[in-house]
């Protein structure tokens, strides 16, 4: 199997090193970051100069009337007067930090290079204790402390963590237009809800394109807002651009019952649920179709950094033990953001899959116009992510690991997932009846898509696929394993299913449990298919 | 000034003690709380038996079509199979806790009874260090740990913190109907956005009643959703029920340009921005009007526990130093929740004003029907609050302070705010020109509403109120103080203003800064009014 991205050459490696070094140079030049309680954050100050790039296109006709009508939050605006330190504020109802019952936090984390230790090794010298005080800033010990993080903030996030996120985004994706920005989110679930309110309107008859099998929670977010999803055919590389083009070219509003889609929702890497990953060539082709039909792209790619080497057929396949960060970065298949000369992409990133889901902290990247509208909604939808996560991740990522340390963490994480994937695939090789079940080894993410052939089933087509699938699911539960049903993920559930699928994940179970689980799942299939 | 609630008698004190003791008895009887990663939470198990109470009314016609159409999250539903410990899950993409780079946290907090220490006293014996490990549950050390809190959770919250919140809600509000429930929120900002999506629909021509001056961010949440706010007249006790009744009785859809309101949004205590607090009698009268016109009530009461004794005219007014928790509870003016025999109230509570805003953690209380719809939206809007805040507040509130300790914290907090309020009021007495500025000392919350008499202004009515107000605001900024402008809070900003107001807060500034600030504000007013 070919690598999904082109193999990085020396120029690309040097470019990544240049970007990495540029971050520190800019920080040194900018000097100390001064940003107190509810400080405004303009991420432009953290970006490299972009004068040679063009600005993004405007998306006025794509934006919903609801979003167009959002005023700025007047109280947050008033806080801008407070950049003058001589002004005393009797303006906003922000509690005084003397009333915060947390004086000091500390937490134990792995030092960069020594990841995946567990609790019984807490005394290990590779474990580091980091501490955050309430008044570290006043004491000159830090640029961020509990008195700031535990108070109200701005929906645009604290400048401290947003600096790291902006730099990371530039380092990894480096969008080819000038006026890109990032905004923090309460995770990609919330980011999608906000993005839908921004781009879609029920009364316009809006609809959305998605992969024919897509993340069920995303579909559940679109549908109650009156936005009808339409599924585009997929192959092993995910969404097929020719099918998408054909759908859009022949779009008939009446028979479809919806306006021609103006947005594509796609999960390009380790797609949920199919595990498929779009190659660079595939992404370019899809982007062209989007340009042709004026389609805005929502790119949901939480598994981006879990890009694994191809499966060689052995549980014990070795992982690349000593990859340097430049090679790791340059070897990643590019995000749509990196191809986005028009500024037609809103990319959703999240720390959930790569650090901890419980932080409920992620970010979106898009053009300044889109981000400004996104933030206006965030001000009333959630006020941005919580301060506890912001300061803890800042302390870990920015102050303890740094950019290179975080990239090393991502390499280690990818290696851990590669081993997990290999174990699941080895179990499938061993326990599943290949006469009726087939699969493509995933190269990104955490999902394996198991295809069961309905034609081999003794009761098909007398019984519909949904019924047989349900029977296998129930039987699997009885046998002691939970896999997700393929029909849960169908973008157009009202049409008859023409394939039978199950989604299995290697994210959470131990090697031993995965073996047991797949053995049980094999039993459930054999019983339904009446295979000895 | 009379107390807002009736003075508690012995029966009421005994009832509060009974509720407090009942919590521990129920916990002892229930035994250890077993709730792992993404465990479902049904708060009914944490409530006292409610068999003698009737159920809430149904609100089908109030609920929006969007909310009515929300399906349950299918992946979260599938997780219900995992209550059987023999089932291995390959179902949900939950990362394994071995991939979490946080091994152990600890934080320093005040012991109950010794609040408001600051960082320089960290070695004080009244400061306690509490620790949370990654695998405390497996080690038998705790009912909740980082391996659970840092993973995905349910939108219904972790059972550990929701137990505390349910018990606290029952202890303080004890709703008079049986099927009340609580749901966690990402703070009241997000709670209001979700509640509006639940109860309102643009295409129905929905509108909302609010105080004529109301929280600007709340108004900014309604308006872009196409929901028109209508302001009800206020006096020193806040919203006036007779005005509300008259408005509703004579409602003319055509001239109003909106359907007759079916919801009231009210801030009954320490109202933002006016600082007004509705007495018990006032609340009963408003509730009756809501019953008469079938109005659902959104009760936004973040300042509830900051109910202070009346201001006696001295900065140094002493505060009640040794109040017991039963008297504190029984002396609070009742929430609408406590009067809510119909189940027509959704109450929003938050830890922002009483612990730390940065936690972005609060909760709503309403009937089971409303809470179920609220949670369906939370599943796609944010997945509930972040796990970091959930476990930290649980460790502090449930495991370190307990219910009584938390109530003592609230008493101490109220006392601290009482002193702050007294300082601001003393400064106003000293520095503001009483010939043109007047105010009512607030008894709840953190806001003082300063009324400037337009009739005394040399340029009125030649210049409209909005212009004069803007001039004073700008002058105040130049002089070095930020107060919020009254017009920012007008529920119906398109009608001409008939009063001129400024909102000042005593929440954040020090005593010295408040003096300086009010002196400067006095100067700005004198200059505009041309007073020597």
Across B472-516, the runs of DSSP E, i.e. the strands, are: 481-482, 484-485, 500-505
Residue B100 has its nearest CB partner, among A153, A356, A361, at A356
How many Å apart are CA B429 and CA B427, to the nearest integer? 5
Q: Are B67 and B373 in contact (CB under 8 A)?
A: yes
Q: How far apart are CA A61 and CA A70, in angstroms?
A: 16
Q: Is residue B95's pLDDT more than 80? A: yes
Cβ atoms of residues B215 and B270 within 8 Å: no
How far A492 CA lies from chain B's nearest CA (Å)?
15
Q: Say whether pLDDT at A3 is over 50.
A: no
The model's confidence at residue A115, banded by pLDDT at 50, 70 and 90, is confident
What CATH class is the domain B417-529? alpha beta
Res. B182: pLDDT tops 70: yes
**pLDDT above 50 for B431:** yes
Same fold, A10-83+141-414 and A417-529: no
Cα within 13 Å of Cα(B321), Cβ side: 2
Residue A79 is predicted with a pLDDT of 78
For residue B63, the tally of other CB atoms under 10 A from its CB is: 18
Tokens of A495: 């049409």
Over residues B162-175, mean pLDDT:
97
The pLDDT tens digits of the residues spanning B235-261 come to: 999 999 999 999 999 999 999 999 999
Q: Within 10 Å of residue A486's Cβ, how many Cβ atoms? A: 24
Test the B interface: residue of A97, A118, A217, A358 with most B CBs within 10 Å = A358
Query: If you search the block for the tokens 């493509």, which residue do you land on?
Result: A440
Q: How far apart (Å, rounded) are the C-alpha atoms in residues A388 and B377?
A: 24
- Using alpha carbons only, what angle is made at residue A295 by residues A289 and A298, rounded to the nearest 5 degrees? 110
| Overall average pLDDT of the B501-526 stretch | 94
Is beta strand A180-185 parallel, antiparallel or unpaired with respect to A362-367? antiparallel
Instruction: Name chain B contacts of A355, Cβ cutoff 8 Å.
Output: 100-101
SS (H, E, C) B176-203: CCCCEEEEEECCHHHHHHHHHHHHCCHH
Determine contact, residues B222/B196, Cβ cutoff 8 Å. yes
Residues of A in contact with B522 (CB under 8 A): none
Mean pLDDT of A360-373: 98
- Chain B nearest C-alpha distance from A463 (Å): 23
3-state secondary structure at position A521? helix
Q: What is the Cα–Cα distance from A349 to A211, expressed in whole angstroms? A: 19
Are A521 and B217 a contacting pair at CB < 8 A?
no
| Residue A114 dihedral angles phi and psi, to the nearest 5° | -125, 65
Domain ranges of chain B: 10-83+152-414, 417-529
Mean pLDDT of B144-163: 96
The pair of three-digit structure tokens given for residue B315, joined into one six-digit string? 């900065």
- Decide: A468 and A500 in contact? Cβ < 8 Å: yes
Token pair in block for residue A236: 């092993």
Query: In sequence order, which residues have a C-beta less than 8 Å from that of residue B467 and are 6 or more positions away?
Result: none
In chain A, residues with a C-beta closer than 8 Å to the C-beta of B92 are 484, 505, 508
Residues of A in contact with B511 (CB under 8 A): none
Contact A190 B509 (CB under 8 A): no
Give the residue-averaged pLDDT of B305-311: 95
Structure tokens at A481: 């394993």
Three-state DSSP at B320 gives coil
User: Which of B243, B421, B407 shows the shortest CA–CA distance to B323?
Assistant: B407
Supply the pLDDT for residue B8: 75
Give the mean model confidence (pLDDT) for residues A85-94: 88
pLDDT above 50 (res B1): no
Domain B10-83+152-414 has CATH 2.160.10.10: no
When CB atoms are compared, the residue of B92, B99, B190 closest to A413 is: B99
Q: Can you give the pLDDT at residue A4?
A: 47
Strands A207-211 and A228-232: parallel
Q: Which residues of A24-53 are buried (b: 16+ CB within 10 A; e: fewer)?
A: eebeeeeeeeebbbbbebebeebbbebeee
Q: How confident is the model at residue A51 (pLDDT cuts 50, 70, 90)?
A: confident
Minimal Cα distance from B133: which residue of A? Answer: A119
* pLDDT tens-digit map of A387-410: 999 999 999 999 999 999 999 999
Fold of A10-83+141-414: 3.40.640
Q: Which residues contact B316 (CB under 8 A, 6 or more apart)?
A: B422
Collapse the DSSP code of B309 into the 3-class scheme (helix H, G, I; strand E, B; otherwise coil) and give the result: coil
Helices (H), B127-179: 146-149, 159-172
Q: Do A82 and B190 touch (CB under 8 A)?
A: no
pLDDT at position A85 over 90: no
* pLDDT band at residue B318 under the 50/70/90 scheme: low
Tens of pLDDT, residues A419-457: 999 999 999 999 999 999 999 999 999 999 999 999 999
* Tally of residues, chain A: 532
User: Residue A208: which residues within 8 A CB-CB, separation 6 or more?
Assistant: A200, A222, A227, A228, A229, A230, A261, A263, A264, A265
pLDDT value at residue B117: 57
The pLDDT of residue B317 is 66
Instruction: Kindly report the backbone phi and psi dihedral angles of residue A99, in degrees, each rounded to the nearest multiple of 5, phi listed first.
Output: -90, 10
**Contact (CB<8Å) B78/A482:** yes
Task: Using alpha carbons, select from A377, A412, A313 the residue that is nearest to residue A155.
Answer: A377
CB contact under 8 A, A103 and B117: yes
Q: Is it the case that residue B49 has pLDDT exceeding 60?
A: yes
pLDDT at B6 over 60: no
Query: Measured between CB atoms, which of A101, A223, A517 is closest to B90?
Result: A517
pLDDT confidence bin for B510, thresholds 50/70/90: confident
Mean residue pLDDT of chain B comes to: 93
pLDDT at B66 over 50: yes
DSSP state of A394: I
Q: In this structure, what token pair is assigned to residue B163?
A: 């137990």
pLDDT at A296 over 50: yes
* Distance from the first to the final alpha carbon of chain A: 34
Contact across the interface for B90 and A482, Cβ inside 8 Å:
yes
Set of chain A residues whose Cβ sits within 8 Å of the Cβ of B133: 119
Distance of CA A35 to the CA centre of its chain: 28
Q: Which of A104, A116, A225 has its CB closest to that of B119? A: A104
What 3 state SS string does A49-77 have? CCCCCCCCCCCCCCCCHHHHCCCCCHHHH
**Residue A381 scores a pLDDT above 80:** yes
B64 → chain A, closest CA residue: A224
Selected residue of B90, B361, B420, B503 to mutate for chain A interface (largest A Cβ count, 10 A):
B90
Interface with chain B: mutation pick from A82, A101, A350, A517, highest number of B CBs within 10 Å: A101
- pLDDT for A319: 66
> Mean pLDDT across the stretch A285-312?
96
Share of chain A above pLDDT 70, in %: 95
Cβ <8 Å between A388 and B88: no
The pLDDT assigned to B29 comes to 94
Helix (H) or strand (E) holding B331: helix B325-331
| Rounded Cα–Cα distance for residues A109 and A126 (Å) | 9
How close, in Å, is residue A118 to chain B by CA atoms? 7
Least confident of A81-90, A242-251, B316-325: B316-325
Between CA B194 and CA B379 the distance in angstroms is 11
Rounded CA-CA distance A323/A308 in Å is 12
**Amino acid B380: pLDDT:** 95
Q: How far apart are the first and last CA of chain B?
A: 34
CA distance B449 to B274: 5
Minimum mean pLDDT among A29-43, A79-93, A207-221: which range? A79-93
Yes or no, beta carbons of A93 and B516 under 8 Å apart: no
What are the backbone dihedrals phi and psi of residue A231, each rounded to the nearest 5 degrees, phi first? Answer: -95, 135
Rounded Cα distance between B296 and B305, Å, is 24
Determine whether the interchain pair B189/A381 forms a contact, defined as Cβ–Cβ distance below 8 Å.
yes
Cβ pair B219, B198 in contact under 8 A: no
Distance of CA A107 to the CA centre of its chain: 26
> Using an 8 Å Cβ cutoff, are A95 and B357 in contact?
yes
Average pLDDT over residues B423-429: 96
Strands (E), B186-283: 207-211, 228-232, 234-235, 238-239, 263-266
The pLDDT value recorded for residue A321 is 61
Residues of A in contact with B81 (CB under 8 A): 477, 482
Chain B residues whose beta carbon lies within 8 Å of the beta carbon of residue A150: 356-359
Radius of gyration (C-alpha) of chain A in whole angstroms = 24
For A282, phi then psi, to 5°, come to -60, -45
pLDDT at B148 over 90: yes
Q: Cβ contact (<8 Å) for A216 and B507?
A: no
pLDDT value at residue A317: 66
Residue B452: strand pairing partners:
B437, B500
Mean pLDDT of chain A: 93
Judged by average pLDDT, the poorest of A92-96, A118-122, A328-332, B496-500 is A118-122
């Amino acid at each position: 199997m070919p690598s999904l991205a082109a193999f990085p050459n020396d120029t690309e490696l040097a470019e990544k090193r240049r970007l990495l070094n540029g971050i520190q140079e800019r920080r040194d030049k900018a000097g100390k970051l001064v940003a107190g309680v509810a400080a405004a954050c303009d991420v432009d100050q953290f970006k490299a100069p972009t004068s040679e790039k063009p600005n993004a296109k405007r998306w006025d006709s794509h934006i919903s009337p609801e979003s167009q009508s959002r005023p700025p939050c007047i109280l947050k605006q008033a806080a801008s007067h407070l950049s003058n330190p001589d002004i005393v504020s009797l303006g906003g109802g922000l509690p005084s930090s003397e009333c915060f019952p947390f004086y000091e936090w500390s937490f134990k984390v792995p030092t960069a290079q020594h990841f995946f230790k567990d609790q019984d090794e807490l005394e290990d010298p590779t474990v580091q204790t980091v501490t955050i005080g309430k008044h570290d800033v006043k004491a000159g010990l830090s640029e961020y402390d509990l008195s700031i993080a535990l108070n109200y903030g701005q929906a645009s996030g604290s400048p401290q963590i947003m600096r790291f996120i902006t730099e990371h985004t530039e380092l990894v994706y480096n969008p080819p237009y000038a006026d890109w920005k990032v905004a923090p989110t309460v995770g990609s679930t919330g980011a999608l809800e906000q993005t839908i309110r921004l781009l879609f309107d029920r009364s316009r008859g809006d609809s959305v394109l998605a992969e024919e099998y897509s993340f069920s929670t995303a579909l559940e977010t679109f549908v109650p807002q009156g936005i009808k999803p339409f599924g585009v055919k997929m192959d092993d590389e995910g969404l097929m651009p020719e099918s998408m083009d054909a759908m859009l070219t022949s779009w008939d509003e009446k028979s479809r019952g919806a306006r021609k889609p103006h947005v594509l929702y796609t999960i390009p890497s380790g797609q949920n649920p199919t595990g498929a990953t779009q190659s660079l060539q595939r992404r370019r082709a899809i982007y062209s179709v989007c340009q042709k039909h004026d389609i805005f792209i929502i790119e949901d790619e939480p598994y981006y950094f879990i890009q694994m080497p191809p499966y060689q057929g052995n549980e014990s396949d070795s992982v690349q033990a000593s990859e340097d960060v430049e090679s790791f970065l340059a070897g990643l298949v590019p995000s749509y953001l990196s191809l986005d000369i028009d500024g037609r992409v809103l990319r959703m990133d999240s720390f959930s899959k790569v650090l901890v889901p419980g932080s409920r902290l992620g970010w979106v990247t898009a053009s300044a116009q889109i981000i400004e509208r996104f933030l206006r909604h965030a001000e009333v939808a959630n006020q941005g992510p919580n301060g506890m996560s912001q300061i803890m991740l800042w302390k870990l990522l920015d102050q303890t690991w740094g950019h290179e340390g975080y990239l090393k963490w991502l390499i280690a994480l990818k290696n851990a997932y590669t081993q997990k994937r290999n174990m699941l695939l080895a179990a499938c090789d061993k326990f599943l009846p290949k006469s009726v079940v087939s699969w493509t080894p995933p190269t990104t993410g955490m999902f394996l898509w198991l295809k069961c052939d309905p034609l081999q089933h003794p009761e098909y087509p007398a019984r519909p696929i949904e019924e047989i699938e349900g029977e296998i699911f129930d039987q699997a539960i009885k046998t002691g394993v939970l896999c997700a049903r393929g029909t849960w993920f169908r973008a157009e559930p009202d049409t008859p299913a023409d394939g039978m699928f199950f989604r299995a994940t290697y994210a959470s179970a131990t090697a031993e449990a995965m073996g047991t689980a797949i053995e049980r799942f094999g039993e459930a299939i054999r019983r339904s298919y009446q295979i000895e």
